[in-house]
């Protein structure tokens, strides 16, 4: 079973991926936030540069509903950057994306999606996986979508069992995922609301799929993949230490709170070297702590204090004192 880090726009770019992989066991595969421009933006270009993704298995994700655009981007990624596989985004629920029949919006026009896939698979010279939701307004047509996907040689089908209208607020629909589990002929990856090792263990017991993808779960608790690899025990361990063959200092116990602080400090430094000013760096850290504050018993108070930081020195001071807010793991 493999573990994947989900693409999250504005957060899991190359800076985050590199620092995360350095401090934790890391993911077996990383997926870029979506690329949607024939002429790559500066951010998109930086995100796929091989020198920015050393020692990582990276799959670029493409968001478009135009086959010619998909093919041009995929070809550019192969010829210019060496990527032999790409992922098609059929899951983004954003109101700036889905109403234009892109991302999850493409699911409401399955006939157009078939025409798109016919052209893409007849002309593409790269491998293609698909990350999909289970419908647009509801899950009723998901079996038809699975049958559609079965007609193409996907390398993998990554299923997030929510429809577009669910966004991220409603619970995942395990019944909808079971349709893919029973009907799909492809290797399957489960994605959605896995926040602890016991939840991962239960999901894999119900659906023993080839891979598990986590996004918000890793942002809330960067050590989650290490604990899943340990065998699915309870996240909270009174010793505050973990021993994982994939963790730093192989075979040695690692203090989790110190590991987290070192990760955040290194990430802050990496963003400081990448971004244009202190304000932009602080924005990135505040965005991360919207999720990471869940690692603390008094996370709401920690988040409030982080949001008040106006200088980098303020942030680093709060980081040094963050254990006082009750680190959970």
Separation of alpha carbons 17 and 259, rounded Å: 16
Q: Are 130 and 6 found together in one domain? A: yes
Indicate if 306 and 185 belong to the same structural domain. no
Q: Name the pLDDT band for 175 (thresholds 50, 70, 90).
A: very high
Calpha distance 221→61 (Å, rounded): 24
* Domain assignment of residue 260, yes or no: yes
* Residue 17 φ/ψ, nearest 5 degrees: -60, -45
Q: Which of 205, 235, 265 is the last residue of a domain?
A: 235
Whether 199 and 51 share a structural domain: yes
The answer to the question of residue 196 being in a domain is yes
> pLDDT over 90 for what percent of the chain?
91
Residue 56 lies in a domain: yes
Whether residue 250 is predicted with pLDDT greater than 90 in this model: the reply is no
Residue 243 lies in a domain: no
Which of 179, 207, 235 delimits the end of a domain? Answer: 235
Residues 195 and 305 in one domain: no
**pLDDT higher at 33 or 243:** 33
- pLDDT greater than 90 at residue 243: no
Give the residue among 237, 227, 239 at the shortest CA–CA distance from 197.
Answer: 227
DSSP one-letter string for 38-83: SS--HHHHHHH-GGGSTT--EE-EE--S-HHHHHHHHHHHHHHH--
Q: What number of other Cβ atoms are within 10 A of residue 270's Cβ? A: 18
Backbone angles phi and psi of 199, in degrees to 5: -65, -40
Three-class DSSP category at 191: strand
Residue 242 domain-assigned (yes or no): no
Give the integer Cα–Cα distance in Å for 255 and 263: 12
* Per-residue pLDDT reduced to its tens digit, 179-198: 999 999 999 999 999 999 99
pLDDT for 169: 87
What the block records as the tokens of 188 is 């399957």
Give the mean model confidence (pLDDT) for residues 113-126. 97
Q: What average pLDDT does the chain have?
A: 93
Q: Which of these three, 180, 205, 235, is where a domain ends?
A: 235
Q: In the structure, what pLDDT confidence band is assigned to residue 242 with cuts at 50, 70 and 90?
A: very low
User: Would 316 be classed as within a structural domain?
Assistant: yes
Answer yes or no: do 183 and 36 share one domain.
yes
Burial of 281 (0-12, 13-18, 19+ CB in 10 A): buried
Distances (CA, A) of 78 to 30, 44, 85, 186, 268: 17, 14, 8, 23, 32
Q: Residues 140, 264: one domain?
A: no
Does residue 227 fall inside a structural domain?
Answer: yes
Q: How many domains does the chain have?
A: 2
Q: What is the pLDDT of residues 312-326, one digit of tens each?
A: 999 999 999 999 999
Q: What is the pLDDT of residue 26?
A: 87
The answer to whether residues 272 and 178 belong to one domain is: no
- pLDDT tens, 225-239? 999 998 754 444 433
Answer yes or no: do 223 and 259 share one domain.
no
CATH label of the domain that carries residue 17: 3.20.20.70
Domain match, 315 and 288 both: yes
Q: 190 and 281: one domain?
A: no
What's the pLDDT at 232? Answer: 53
Task: Please give the residue that has the higher pLDDT: either 49 or 329.
Answer: 49
pLDDT number for residue 254:
67
Q: Is the pLDDT of residue 57 over 80?
A: yes
* H-run or E-run covering 130: strand 127-133
**48, 20: one domain:** yes
C-alpha dist (Å) from residue 282 to 257, 289, 296, 302, 321: 21, 10, 20, 15, 17
* Domain interval for residue 28: 2-235
Do 152 and 290 have their domain in common?
A: no
Residue 290 in domain = yes
What is the predicted pLDDT for the residue at 198?
96
Mean pLDDT, to the nearest integer, of 290-313? 98
Q: What percent of the chain has pLDDT over 70?
A: 93
């Amino acid at each position: 079973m493999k573990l994947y880090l989900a693409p999250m726009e504005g957060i899991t770019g190359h800076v985050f991926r590199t620092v995360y992989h350095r401090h934790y066991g890391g993911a077996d595969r990383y997926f870029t936030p979506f690329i949607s421009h024939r002429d790559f933006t500066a951010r998109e270009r930086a995100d796929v540069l091989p020198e920015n993704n050393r020692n990582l298995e990276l799959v670029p994700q493409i968001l478009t509903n135009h086959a010619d655009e998909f093919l041009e981007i995929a070809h550019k990624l192969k010829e210019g950057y060496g990527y032999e596989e790409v992922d098609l985004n059929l899951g983004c629920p954003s109101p700036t994306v889905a109403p234009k029949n892109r991302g999850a919006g493409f699911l409401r026009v399955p006939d157009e999606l078939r025409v798109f896939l016919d052209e893409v698979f007849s002309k593409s010279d790269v491998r293609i996986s698909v990350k999909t939701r289970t419908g647009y307004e509801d899950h009723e047509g998901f079996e038809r979508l699975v049958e559609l996907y079965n007609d193409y040689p996907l390398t993998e089908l990554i299923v997030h069992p929510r429809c577009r209208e669910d966004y991220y607020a409603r619970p995942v629909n395990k019944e909808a995922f079971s349709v893919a589990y029973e009907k799909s002929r492809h290797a399957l990856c489960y994605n959605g609301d896995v926040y602890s090792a016991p939840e991962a263990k239960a999901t894999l017991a119900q659906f023993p799929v080839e891979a598990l993808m986590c996004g918000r779960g890793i942002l809330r608790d960067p050590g989650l993949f290490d604990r899943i690899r340990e065998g699915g025990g309870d996240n909270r361990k009174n010793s505050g230490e973990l021993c994982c063959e994939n963790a730093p200092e192989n075979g040695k116990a690692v203090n989790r709170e110190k590991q987290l602080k070192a990760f955040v400090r290194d990430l802050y430094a990496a963003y400081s070297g990448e971004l244009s000013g202190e304000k932009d760096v602080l924005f990135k850290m505040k965005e991360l702590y919207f999720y990471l504050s869940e690692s603390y018993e008094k996370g709401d108070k920690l988040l409030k204090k982080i949001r008040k930081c106006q200088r980098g020195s303020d942030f680093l001071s709060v980081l040094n004192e963050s254990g006082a807010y009750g680190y959970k793991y």
